[in-house]
């Protein structure tokens, strides 16, 4: 099979496989990127499955570009060899029927935060627990139907009804994904974060909740945050990570909202605010 035949027969969805296609969106399909660890899906595939866009790096291309990047080659022979035993993606013939996948939990329930182990985890991250209790709950869940030996983690809700889950041993989420907004302070500035640990770190450093917050919960949600920010008045501060994904998202917001201020340099060279908080506290 040559390159032209591959392009005619297969789509990017075929190559990614069902396990990487997360849900249908207004712009196509949200997927997990195959060339890096992608806990928060950051790859968009076009509605016809022929093209893709990487939200983290800004790279884009067709199916062949995707294979080259995944395999780490520019050799077309190697690319062709990747399709020897590839079966057709089960949803390729009816792309409109892809629905958001389940979180993978057999059951999940959310209760008030009470676990000593979770409080200890917050302490290990140097988070003020009185502040944390204003935002967090506790999730009990299992990947099997048995409820006797459940797992538990911190639970942080988003505006769509989903949950971000964190503990010392687990990092995941319960669908649907979405941003979280906190409008607590009248006439206060709005601060934008990637994750809730950074938001809690910021509040801890400030000695309390003194601003309004938007938490992306994933950089793929940056467009949703921009839509909300356009409706807000007052100052906007961007506190995203000091890495490629954070810088790309920061630039995207600044391009749309040049009045916003990037303050990520204040905790550089640390990757994020929680890293900065932990190092600051350990230094004392």
Chain segment 219-258, per-residue pLDDT in tens: 889 999 999 999 988 999 999 999 988 999 999 999 999 9
pLDDT of residue 94: 41
Residues 140-147: contacts with CB under 8 Å, at least 24 apart: 140/108, 140/109, 140/110, 140/111, 141/105, 141/107, 141/108, 141/109, 141/165, 141/174, 142/105, 142/106, 142/107, 143/104, 143/105, 143/106, 144/106, 145/106, 145/107, 147/107
Residue 215: which of 172, 164, 251 has the closest Cα?
A: 164
Q: What is the pLDDT of residue 47?
A: 87
Q: Which residues contact 255 (CB under 8 A, 6 or more apart)?
A: none
Q: What is the pLDDT of residue 7?
A: 86
What does the block give as tokens for 44? 């968009």
Cα dihedral sign, 35-270-159-228: negative
Indicate the burial class of 28 (C-beta count within 10 angstroms; 0-12, 13-18, 19 or more): buried
Cα-flanking dihedrals φ and ψ of residue 105, to 5°? -85, 135
What is the pLDDT, as a whole number, of residue 64? 92
pLDDT (tens digit per residue) in 82-121:
776 554 444 334 444 444 444 467 889 999 999 999 999 9
Which residue ranges in the chain fall short of pLDDT 50? 87-103
Those residues with Cβ within 8 angstroms of residue 216's Cβ, 6 or more apart along the chain or in another chain: 179, 192, 193, 194, 195, 222, 225, 240, 249
Supply the pLDDT for residue 237.
Answer: 98
What 8-state DSSP symbol labels residue 281? H
55/53 Cα distance (integer angstroms): 6
Mean pLDDT of the chain: 87
pLDDT at residue 90, rounded to an integer: 41
Question: What's residue 150's pLDDT?
Answer: 85
**Would you mind telling me the total number of residues written for the chain in this entry?**
284
CA 24 → CA 30, 48, 97, 98, 180, distances in Å?
6, 12, 8, 6, 21
Q: Which of helix, strand or coil describes residue 18?
A: helix
Predicted pLDDT of residue 184: 84
pLDDT for res 207: 96
Q: What is the pLDDT of residue 230?
A: 92
**Nearest CA-CA partner of 215 in 248, 182, 237:** 182
SS3 of residue 207 by DSSP: coil
Ramachandran sector of residue 234 (left: φ over 0; alpha: ψ -120 to 50; beta: rest): left
- For position 139, what pLDDT does the model report? 94
Q: Which of 245, 238, 278, 280 is nearest to 259 (CA)?
A: 238
Q: Alpha carbon 277 to chain centroid distance? A: 22
């Amino acid at each position: 099979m040559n390159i032209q035949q591959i392009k005619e027969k297969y789509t990017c969805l075929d190559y990614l496989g069902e396990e990487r296609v997360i849900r249908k969106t207004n712009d196509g399909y949200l997927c997990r990127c195959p060339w890096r660890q992608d806990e928060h899906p950051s790859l968009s595939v076009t509605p016809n499955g022929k093209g893709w866009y990487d939200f983290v790096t800004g790279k884009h291309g067709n199916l062949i570009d995707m294979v080259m990047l995944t395999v780490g080659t520019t050799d077309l022979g190697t690319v062709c060899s990747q399709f020897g035993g590839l079966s057709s993606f089960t949803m390729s013939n009816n792309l409109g029927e892809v629905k958001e996948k389940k979180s993978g939990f057999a059951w999940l329930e959310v209760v008030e935060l009470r676990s000593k182990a979770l409080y200890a985890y917050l302490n290990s991250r140097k988070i003020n627990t009185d502040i944390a209790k204003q935002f967090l709950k506790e999730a009990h869940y299992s990947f099997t139907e048995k409820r006797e030996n459940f797992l538990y983690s911190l639970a942080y809700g988003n505006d769509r009804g989903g949950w971000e889950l964190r503990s010392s041993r687990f990092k995941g989420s319960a669908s649907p994904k979405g941003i979280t907004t906190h409008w607590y302070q009248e006439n206060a500035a709005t601060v934008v974060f990637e994750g809730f640990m950074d938001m809690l770190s910021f509040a801890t450093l400030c000695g309390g909740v003194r601003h309004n917050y938007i938490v992306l919960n994933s950089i793929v949600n940056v467009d949703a945050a921009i839509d909300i920010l356009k409706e807000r008045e007052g100052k906007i501060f961007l506190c995203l990570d000091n890495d490629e994904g954070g810088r790309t998202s920061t630039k995207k917001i600044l391009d749309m909202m040049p009045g916003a201020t990037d303050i990520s340099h204040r905790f550089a060279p640390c990757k994020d605010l929680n890293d900065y908080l932990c190092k600051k506290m350990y230094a004392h």
